Amino acid sequence: MGSQTGEEIGKAGEELFREKLTSEQFRILREHGTERAGTSPLNYEKRDGLYHCAACGNALFKSDAKYESGSGWPSFYAPIEGAVQTLADNSLFMRRIEVQCAQCKSHLGHVFPDGPQPTGERYCMNGLALDFDPAGP
């Protein structure tokens, strides 16, 4: 995918995403879906490393910002600066704040104001939207 932005991706890019991602990843990342709570192996990931967008590879979260929220989804209290963007999500008869990859505009999850300090935020991410890259040996 390179460094294309969401606006530059277009129809041909969507086909590339469809080829690269599993059908479930495509549903989540490109069609704003979600995975069932408690199903991601990343919920239990404790190693140091980086979490990347599964669609384009953009680094999103450092492992030291990950915590166990009890929500059933991988949760972080802060993204890497500039890695994500947020926008209002008024679907499902409620107001939430959607989190997207700043590079490819793929849907990652939502952010809520009930996280730990220092930010007080809970970035509740779909595990299938993330790839984990462990740090060194």
pTM strictly above 0.85: yes
Tell whether the model's pLDDT for residue 4 goes beyond 50. Answer: no
* 11-22 tens-digit pLDDT: 667 889 999 999
Contacts of 42 by beta carbon, 8 Å cutoff, 6+ apart: 51, 74, 127, 130, 132
Instruction: Work out the pLDDT band at 2, boundaries 50, 70, 90.
Output: very low
Question: What are the extents of the domains in the chain?
Answer: 6-134
Is the CATH code 2.170.150.20 the one for domain 6-134?
yes
Task: Show the tokens assigned to 17.
Answer: 């995403």
pLDDT of residue 74: 98
Tell whether the model's pLDDT for residue 6 goes beyond 50. Answer: no
CA-based Rg of the chain, rounded to a whole angstrom? Answer: 14
Q: Judge whether 124 counts as a catalytic residue.
A: yes
Of 56, 101, 104, 124, the active-site residue reads 124
